[in-house]
Structure 1
Amino acid sequence: MGLVTDADGPVRQRGAWGRSLSAAQLFVGSFLLLVGVGTVGFKALPGLYAGEPLSWLDALFTATSAICVTGLVVVDTATFFTGWGQAYVLLLIQLGGLGILTFSTLLLAALGRRLSLRQEDLARSAAGPAVGLDPLRLTRHVVGFTLGIEAVGAALLYVQWAPEMGMSGALWPAVFHSVSAFCNAGFSTFSDSLVGAQGDAGILVVVMALVTVGGIGFLVLEELMDRLRRHPERRPRLSVHTRLVLATTALLAVGGGVLFTAFEWGRTFSELDPLDRAVNGLFLSVTARTAGFNAIDYAEAAPSTNFLTVLLMSVGGSPGSTAGGIKTTTAALLVLLAWARLRGRDHVAVWGRTVPEGTIQRAVGLFVVAFGVVTAAIFVLTWSELAWAEAQGATVEAEFLALMFEAASAFNTVGLSMGVTPDLSVVGRWTAIGLMFVGRVGPLAFAAALSRRRDPTAFRYASEDVGLG
């Protein structure tokens, strides 16, 4: 079997199909495989359901939602599944949150095999933009951080739920919600999600903390832990990436919390005391950025609340995390780009550092692609759920804002809904499935997986400028 050198440099065996795939193709393919296995599991495994089993389409929808840590549901997780069924959902959430490639990397390490350059590339794809860090070391820390933080979160939730639910009754909800919160999945074993905890600030604070830590990214956690281990006099400065993530996360959480509290003060928060109103406002701001837990009924919220939720959902979490969205760093770079242009500067600088032009271009590209995908999905949902239903003479329950809310929630892997998910048509459900998958793996990674290898005969045409403004 001969060897072939392609345009990108790597040497691969002719006919070795798996070796010819790029990191992006294997990354996307691994999630496709996991979704397929998860779907078959819902149909083949016994003892998962309290009543009738899921149809194939609903099994695919639920598996995609769990693996892509979204949280949109077509059935009530609390009543439709047995304890084993809920455990299966939680397993898919955990696998999806960490990424199947992370587990593959650990398995290779456990077998004593040294990682190849290609496998190191895959490890970086699963764990995030870990430039300058050993991929195997980072992957071990990913799993260590995850299990450790989830254990602490489960213990804190258990302590608060045990007096009400009993010593044994509180264990499973505590474990389930801790994993679901850290993975930013939004699945709940309660039919009303966390609406019942609206007046319990302790529960909401723990869930918010888990969501925030899971959403800032493993790269940030690694850097912060490294600083804590060093002597204070030898600690290096925080990277621009980490500082952008922390600053943007704090700004969005606090700013959104203030606005949510003001919007819902006399509506869904009307029966709460002032402190609980403030905590719930902050909770709405944190969970809107890909977590998916709800402490209010969004169908009864103010239109301004729902639109602000759409905006926060679009930003999402941070790179290398379990969260979706265009990411905090992308949003921050777009704002910095606009500010630089307004000041007449041709480069973006922050905290005494210039951001590479290639990074700025990727941020702009990601925003354009994400905007285009969500806009196209809203058009499809508008037709499938409104125009088609009206043409058939059916009663239409959904409104345009609810469908825009649904599309943004699916693509940014949030899981919040204004109550239209169970009523989606077949076309609507397939649209949501596609949005959840592309949103989880990332639109740029998905596009890269579909693209062909670079043509060695490619050339560049002569330049000609175009007017703007």
Structure 2
Amino acid sequence: MWFTARNKISTAFRLKHRLGISGNRRPPRGRGALSSSKLFVGSFLLLTLAGTVGLKVIPGLYQEQSLTWHEAAFTATSAVCVTGLIVVDTATYFTWEGQAFLLLLIQLGGLGMLTLTSMVITALGGRPSLRAESATATVRPAMPYIPPRKLIISVVKFTILFEAIGAILLYAIWSPQMGWSEAIWPAVFHSVSAFCNAGFSTNSNSLVDFQHSPATLLAISFLVVTGGLGFVTMEEFSERLWRKKRARRLSVHTSLVIVTTIVLLLGGWFLFALFEWRGCMASMPLVDKLSNSLFMSVTSRTAGFNSIDYGAASDSSNFLTILLMMIGGSPGSTAGGMKTTTFALLGLVAWSRLRSRPTVTFADRSIPEETIQHSVGLTVIYTAIVMIGILLITSIGDLLGDHGTLLPRMFEVVSAFNTVGLSMGLTDTLSPISRWILIGLMFVGRTGPLAVAAALVVRRAGNTTYRLAYEDVNVG
């Protein structure tokens, strides 16, 4: 035992010496976390402000009159935060130049999300700490470390590749009906919007006109799913498929993302088909029923496109959509929500407690308690913000004499905070103050988790070496 501990300590010392790390050096308390949080929030805030001002001052963006300031702020926030909620019709209100400006905001917001979240994930899980390495020789990093410059270049290549594939697919599907030249812009716009999970469309009714085109719905679904899986997951897949040398097994992170995504897609597909088979899809042929119910399962988790009218859907479908919107996509992706891994970890925690297991396990690995606590805390924060948002929107509507029902308001708040973009037709009827609340929800829903994760990167290194005395509390 003495020799083993001595060898581990000496290994850690040699590693610190090679990296040039002093044993007495500590990061300045709070400075790193503050700057990282400011970088995340500030970049999206500046882009949103630039988009708002651009929508007001750049000429030639509109068919007729320009947007008001609160409409411009709402539209810019929705584009940068890749949400998709709109207060004016993108197809008829904007010129080609206006649509191109919105697409630029969507692309920058989506690229920024992929880059920043991927950096945070690799910083949190890319390398075990020196203390952990000195304690055990079997610690395996959550995923391979990628240098920031290489990561940014890879994210850009990854994004361009899939958006190009999507645009070619959509162009091939639409050009026979739209015309060879007229199909170019819609194909490019929808490919970028779908991959970024933005939900903006050059059609007034989103994709309702394509509900009888299974090829269109499948192509859009492919883009939405790949954009929602996350760069880290796709990068690990590419290493496993294309590199000649033998790749290591899939990380627990990637395995959990894939399994949870498949379960949610198949489960949502079955339930939406069950709820709407004799509902809003009653008049559709069998193939269209299957393709539209699958599309509803895909788009509910932050994509924002719709091939059916959610205002005409059943309450069961709309409530299921709310649940899927809360879950969202996967970490390191363009999607919002509390993320598939958070949802999966909550289920694993419940399963381990029911089996009286002291640790949470998946794929023959134990999940660190710190990660479990983080997922629980994130869920509590998300739920609290959504509840407050519903209360605000509902109370403001009632005070202004708009006595609407609860479900559309809940739907709108969850869609905004989780950056989905689906609506039951309530967005353009809201008062300006309610729209400002949705703006805040969209921005916080997009940047809040990033700021928390960025702070964790530094705070992990500066953990205190003491704790206060335990004292129990009765629960249940």
Q: Which of 303, 306, 329 is the matching residue for 1:294?
A: 306
Q: Structure 1-normalised TM-score?
A: 0.87
**Is 1:468 aligned to residue 468 of structure 2?**
no
Question: Would you say the 8 A contact 1:25–1:449 is kept in 2?
Answer: no
The 1:136–1:335 alpha-carbon spacing in structure 2 relative to 1, beyond 3 Å, is same
Distance apart, 1:123 and its partner CA? 6.9
1-side partners of 2:424 and 2:375: how far apart? 30
**Is 1:419 aligned to residue 425 of structure 2?**
yes
Distance apart, 1:427 and its partner CA? 2.0
The residue type equivalent to 1:353 in the other structure is: R
Question: Would you say the 8 A contact 1:153–1:210 is kept in 2?
Answer: yes
**Residue correspondence of structure 1 range 390-409 to structure 2 within 5 A:** 390=401, 396=403, 398-409=404-415
2-side partners of 1:456 and 1:366: how far apart? 20
The answer to which structure, 1 or 2, has the higher relative contact order (CA under 8 A, 6+ apart) is 2
Q: Write out per-residue CA displacement over residues 133-182 of structure 1, whole angstroms, 9 at most, x where no aligned residue.
A: 22322221111010010001001000111111111110000000000000
Give the corresponding residue for 1:74.
87
Larger deviation, residues 215-224 vs 455-464: 455-464
Q: Write out per-residue CA displacement over residues 228-264 of structure 1, whole angstroms, 9 at most, x where no aligned residue.
A: 1234x82211111101101111110111011101111
2-side partners of 1:456 and 1:155: how far apart? 50
The 1:465–1:311 alpha-carbon spacing in structure 2 relative to 1, beyond 3 Å, is same
Aligned-pair Cα RMSD in Å: 2.6
Give the corresponding residue for 2:240.
227
**Is 1:323 aligned to residue 340 of structure 2?**
no
Give the corresponding residue for 1:375.
387
Give the corresponding residue for 2:135.
none
Give the corresponding residue for 2:133.
none
What is the SS of the residue equivalent to 2:321?
helix
Distance apart, 1:468 and its partner CA? 2.0
**Is 1:125 aligned to residue 120 of structure 2?**
yes
**Residue correspondence of structure 1 range 243-322 to structure 2 within 5 A:** 243-322=255-334
Larger deviation, residues 170-179 vs 424-433: 424-433
2-side partners of 1:296 and 1:43: how far apart? 33
The residue type equivalent to 1:463 in the other structure is: Y
Give the corresponding residue for 2:443.
437
Distance apart, 1:458 and its partner CA? 11
The 1:149–1:348 alpha-carbon spacing in structure 2 relative to 1, beyond 3 Å, is same
Distance apart, 1:9 and its partner CA? 3.3
2-side partners of 1:69 and 1:122: how far apart? 14
Give the corresponding residue for 2:416.
410
2-side partners of 1:128 and 1:208: how far apart? 30
Q: Structure 2-normalised TM-score?
A: 0.86
Distance apart, 1:268 and its partner CA? 1.3
Question: Would you say the 8 A contact 1:127–1:218 is kept in 2?
Answer: no
The 1:9–1:426 alpha-carbon spacing in structure 2 relative to 1, beyond 3 Å, is farther
**Residue correspondence of structure 1 range 122-271 to structure 2 within 5 A:** 124-125=119-120, 131=126, 132-134=144-146, 135-231=148-244, 234-271=246-283
The residue type equivalent to 2:267 in the other structure is: G
Give the corresponding residue for 2:400.
389
1-side partners of 2:150 and 2:454: how far apart? 26
2-side partners of 1:8 and 1:64: how far apart? 41
The residue type equivalent to 2:442 in the other structure is: M
Aligned residues: 433
Larger deviation, residues 291-300 vs 456-465: 456-465
Question: Would you say the 8 A contact 1:306–1:405 is kept in 2?
Answer: yes
1-side partners of 2:307 and 2:431: how far apart? 27
Q: Write out per-residue CA displacement over residues 93-146 of structure 1, whole angstroms, 9 at most, x where no aligned residue.
A: 0000011794xxxxxxxxxxxxxxxxxx99713988662322322221111010
Q: Which consecutive unaligned segments of at least 5 residues does structure 1 have?
A: 1-6, 103-120
**Residue correspondence of structure 1 range 20-59 to structure 2 within 5 A:** 21-59=34-72
Give the corresponding residue for 1:98.
111
2-side partners of 1:365 and 1:8: how far apart? 31
1-side partners of 2:32 and 2:286: how far apart? 60
Q: Write out per-residue CA displacement over residues 414-463 of structure 1, whole angstroms, 9 at most, x where no aligned residue.
A: 0000000011112211111111111112346269779x999999974322
Q: Write out per-residue CA displacement over residues 205-235 of structure 1, whole angstroms, 9 at most, x where no aligned residue.
A: 000000000000000010000001234x822
The 1:60–1:129 alpha-carbon spacing in structure 2 relative to 1, beyond 3 Å, is farther
Question: Would you say the 8 A contact 2:36–2:454 is kept in 1?
Answer: no
Question: Would you say the 8 A contact 1:128–1:320 is kept in 2?
Answer: no
2-side partners of 1:177 and 1:123: how far apart? 24
Question: Would you say the 8 A contact 2:197–2:303 is kept in 1?
Answer: yes
Larger deviation, residues 82-91 vs 439-448: 439-448
The residue type equivalent to 1:133 in the other structure is: Y
The 1:54–1:276 alpha-carbon spacing in structure 2 relative to 1, beyond 3 Å, is same
Question: Would you say the 8 A contact 2:114–2:231 is kept in 1?
Answer: no
Give the corresponding residue for 2:3.
none
Question: Would you say the 8 A contact 1:31–1:100 is kept in 2?
Answer: no
2-side partners of 1:26 and 1:8: how far apart? 24
Give the corresponding residue for 1:10.
27
Runs of 4+, deviation exceeding 6 Å: 17-20, 447-450, 452-459
What is the SS of the residue equivalent to 1:317?
coil
Distance apart, 1:389 and its partner CA? 2.2
Q: Which consecutive unaligned segments of at least 5 residues does structure 2 have?
A: 1-23, 127-143
Identity of aligned residues (%): 55
Question: Would you say the 8 A contact 1:28–1:446 is kept in 2?
Answer: no
